[in-house]
Amino acid sequence: MIEWTNFPPRRPDGVYLPDITGVIELERSDHPIMYRMRGISLLPDDQDRRLFAGPVRWYTDEPDFLWLNDRWGYEEGELNRETLGFRTSTYARR
């Protein structure tokens, strides 16, 4: 399960920038993974989607994922402003 909060600052043109802090809870572990993403957003496109992207950092004590503590990742996604549907992909190189 993933829980996150977003406290986005707003640019002068009214576009909000992602400022996300979250926790990933693994079913097989008592050690959650915290992540942090601050990025950029674009004005809505012709399908009323707001595209965003930015770097991600992870912090964890989970033995199988300690390598994440030494990595930067990249997240990109979109928010459909009409349906409030949300899609995101995050990349990290091991």
pLDDT confidence of residue 74: 95
For 30, left (φ over 0), alpha (ψ -120 to 50), or beta? alpha
pLDDT confidence of residue 56: 95
- The CA–CA distances, whole Å, from 28 to 58, 63, 81 equal 18, 12, 35
- DSSP state for residue 14 in the 8-state scheme: S
pLDDT tops 80 at residue 48: no
Per the DSSP assignment, residues forming a β-bridge with 23 are 3, 34
Q: Judge if pTM exceeds 0.85.
A: no
What's the rounded mean pLDDT across residues 69-92? 88
The pLDDT mean for the chain works out to: 90
| pLDDT, tens only, 11-24 | 998 888 999 999 99
